[in-house]
Chain A
Amino acid sequence: MKGFLLNLSLFRFNPNKDLMKKRLIDVHNGESARILGFQDEEMGVKLLEMGCFPGSSIHIVRSAPFGCPLYVKVGSHQLALRKQEAETILVA
């Protein structure tokens, strides 16, 4: 998790560049990814407070009966978040 201060730039929304990047919404159920940063400052910092650190691994376990929200695991902890939140999480 070292050096995530360097990732600060990822908080700045750059439409041209960011649209090319992979977001959590693009990750399929049952797959994992690594959090790089967030596109939306307000939502991003909330996610950060709830333990979604840049650099940590995020696993999409499943989606709820009507397709949303998503059941994700960050580390060994479970979170529920909506697709609209998943759209703002940049992953690799």
Chain B
Amino acid sequence: MSISVTTDNPTQNTLKRIALVGNPNSGKTSLFNRLTGLNQKVGNFPGVTVDKKTGLLKLPNGKTLPVIDLPGTYSLYPTSLDERIVLEVLLQDQYPEHPDLIVYVADSTNLERHLLMLTQIIDLGFPVILALNMTDLADKASIQIDISALQEVLDVPVVKVNGRNGTGIHELKILLQNFPVSKKPNEFLFPIPKQNKELVNSLKALLKVDNDYRALMLAHHGATLKQVSAQNQLQIKGLTEKADFKSIRGQVDETMYRYEVINHLLERAVKRTGNNTSRSFTDRLDDIITHRAYGLGIFFIILFLMFQAVFSWAETPMELIETGFGWLSKTVAETLPQNWINGVISEGVIPGLGGVLVFIPQIAILFLLITLLEEVGYMSRAVFMSDRLLRNFGLNGRSIVSLISGVACAIPAIMSTRTIGNWKERMITIFVTPLISCSARIPVFAVLVAFVVPHDSSFLGIFNMQGAVIMGLYLLGAGAAIFSAWVLKLVLKTEEKSYFIMELPSYKTPYWKNVLLTVYEKVKTFVLEAGKIILIISIVLWCLASFGPGEKMQIAEEAAKTEATAQMLSEADAQALVASRKIEASYAGHFGKLIEPTIRPLGFDWKIGIALITSFAAREVFVGTMATIYSVGDVDNESSIIERMRKEKRPDTGEPVFDLPTSLSLLIYYVFAMQCMSTVAVVKRETKSWKWPILQLVYMSALAYLASFFVYQLLS
């Protein structure tokens, strides 16, 4: 047979959408990035929390072609959410993502395994182009692949590509441009077994399917597919039961048969010359990196260096963003006419936005490092090393990626749990991740720690005591996460088996495009997810703090002004005093006083109460609120806030409010409390129920309350 790839007839091209399909670690994403560049976006499949990566590919003739990068999967028998969506999209042409051509990406160094799913896709009747990736590595391993022989035996066009350096991309595009979309007669690589023929025929009639293998797949999975109507699902169930159809047995038989066929086909196309027994670079590196003792040491050193880098590199850009927004807020306040709109924008929207954007440097740097570790292949080693330990607590080795990401921000961290196939392990990971101290806690810690430890004290002359306390708070959060996971492990029941078979890909140099695009996506997710909620809530909170019941605010303002004149305060001090009195008379002030009896046992007064309320949506708001309440004019200056808080006295005893018991209790409160509406929203979306986020909110609030209660009562 011959494959007509040279007929240069652009009008013939009627492709509407192509999909990239392949096993995990086949280099599919590099190829996708290479094909689409920045012309891509990540969305969600409707109703499921699986990333949908789509993009536009520019053909040499100038036409564009939509491409979808389907999640990596080993076969059409899914074991995780990601794999399930691949099956759904390929089986059901009602999906708008359903492709009319598949570019199947395979790792040339392990063709036997990678061709398994290719043969399934060919049997589904899709036109396919096989893109052979990593042929350079195959050459090194003395695996010789005869492309024309491979084309002939598989009856599909084959093209060598290299997603990382761009080899073969043009050839692939030419192939796509001239691809004749014609249905081939079905010659199945896996003929339908005799005992299933009757079932397949009745399913073909029932569901109006013309492909035998598609019908067989519907026998396996039809009863759980989303696009199959409830009635059809019942009918499929009925038919498979009647036919005594055994799904797993069938899967085993099919897989074995296909491997047999693949082996037969590859006999002609692949030659292994020489006995490559020498140990590879990966083998030698893993001797150290996954070593029982050194491996753990390296893991902790990498973690330590990562956090160190995040905090030192992020400092300058964060200060720039803070200053920038401070300037913007001030300029807007002075430029716009003095009315409530001015207030909403300059005191609500802009600081709210600034509060979100200020975390971008930390989050971007942390995700840059995490993505780099993932790209070079280290992350799967971290998963390998931590699986046993985390399993004691109902987690999975894969949870380590979410837990580490949680140090930056819980939102992308929770989204990264999608790779955990086991339901219980995934829920536990989602539940405990917000207990890991995220970057939004740092500003709160930084202010409050000053009241717990005097600034200049050090321990043994080496360790800065404030640093040590903050480190302790991080460990406390991590400890609470682990403990909570363990409790959940005992509480949650599941019949689902947990298994863990994971590829450890060979180490490779990172491809910068993959890294940058991933970081960009994560940061975008954070800005969009957290941004919209924080923005809305900061407007609501501004209103709460700016309006009060009846005339009370006005009366308070007048009184403060008189007082300021009487005390001959400077204009700035007078303004600060007015602001402080106004917030006291506002709705927020009333709420603060309303909850005071509840938080009194934790050592908090109504002023702290206001801050707890305003920072309910996002913890970092705490610092700004403190500045307003204590009438500190210069919000951006941390030390002036600390100075002012230090002077605050209890009205009854005259002792400082922020003494050790209260400050520590407040710190502990912020370690445990949820105080992040964006996380609640993301958990709701990821678990598709209100049950989990509400449980989590109640649990974390209770934990925070009890912990603060004990700390305060013990110390005071």
Q: A residues touching B (Cβ–Cβ < 8 Å)?
A: 1-2, 4-5, 8, 11, 41-51, 53, 61-69, 71, 73, 75-82, 84-85
List, sorted by A's number, 5 A–B pairs whose CB atoms are closer than 8 Å.
A45-B77, A47-B501, A48-B259, A49-B77, A53-B259
Q: Closest A-chain residue to B257, C-beta based?
A: A5
B290 and A71 form a contact (CB under 8 A):
yes
B242 interfacial contact with A, CB 8 Å = no
Are B263 and A67 touching (Cβ within 8 A)? Answer: no
Asked, given contacts A42-B248, A49-B74, A64-B385, whether A80 binds B501 with beta carbons under 8 Å apart, the answer is yes
B194 interfacial contact with A, CB 8 Å: no
Q: B493 an interface residue at 8 Å Cβ cutoff? A: no
Q: Pick the residue among B109, B116, B499 that contacts A85 (CB under 8 A).
A: B499
* A80 with B77: CB separation less than 8 A: no
Known: A45-B248, A78-B286. A4 touches B256 (CB 8 A): yes
Closest to B113 in A: A51
List of 6 A-B pairs having minimum Cβ-Cβ separation, nearest first: A66-B388, A78-B504, A51-B113, A49-B74, A80-B384, A68-B388
Shortest Cβ distance from residue A4 to the other chain B in the assembled complex, whole angstroms: 6
Which A residues lie within 8 Å of B342 (CB)? none
Residue of A nearest to B114 (CB): A51
Closest to A68 in B: B388
Residue B255, interface by CB 8 Å = yes
Contact indicator B292/A62 (Cβ below 8 Å)? yes
| Assembled-state Cα–Cα distance A81/B286 (Å) | 16
A82 vs B79: C-alpha distance when bound (angstroms):
17
Q: Which residues of A contact B293 (CB under 8 A)?
A: 65
> CB-CB < 8 A to A69: which residues of B?
384, 387-388, 397, 500, 502
Q: How far is the CA of A53 from the CA of B253 in the complex (A)?
A: 13
Q: Is the CB of B286 within 8 A of A71?
A: yes
Q: A44-B252, A71-B290, A80-B503 are in contact. List 18 more A-B contacts (CB 8 A).
A: A41-B252, A43-B499, A45-B248, A45-B255, A46-B74, A46-B79, A50-B74, A50-B503, A51-B112, A53-B259, A65-B292, A76-B141, A76-B276, A78-B504, A80-B502, A81-B500, A82-B501, A84-B499
Which of chain A's residues have a CB closer than 8 A to the CB of B116? 49
> A residues within 8 A CB of B292?
62-65
CB-CB < 8 A to A76: which residues of B? Answer: 109-110, 141, 276, 280
Question: How far is it, in angstroms, between the C-alpha of A52 and the C-alpha of B350 when the chains are bound?
Answer: 57
The answer to whether the Cβ of B282 comes within 8 Å of any Cβ in the partner chain is yes
Instruction: Looking at the assembled complex, report how far the CB atom of B230 sits from the nearest CB atom of chain A, in whole angstroms.
Output: 27
Docked complex Cα distance between A4 and B392 (Å): 37
A82 cross-chain contacts in B, Cβ below 8 A: 387, 499-501
**Which residues of B sit under 8 angstroms from A77, Cβ to Cβ?**
109-110, 113, 503
Chain B residues whose C-beta falls within 8 Å of the C-beta of A71 in the assembled complex: 286, 290, 384, 504
What 0/1 pattern do residues 380 to 396 of B give for CB contact below 8 A with A? 10011101110000000
Contact between chains at A65 and B388 (CB < 8 Å): yes
Known: A45-B255, A50-B74. A78 touches B503 (CB 8 A): yes
The reply to whether B260 and A5 form a contact with Cβ atoms under 8 Å apart is yes
Chain A residues with CB under 8 Å of B506's CB are 78
Q: How many Å lie between the Cα of A45 and that of B250 in the bound state?
A: 10
Instruction: Kindly list chain A residues whose C-beta atoms are within 8 Å of the C-beta of B291.
Output: 62
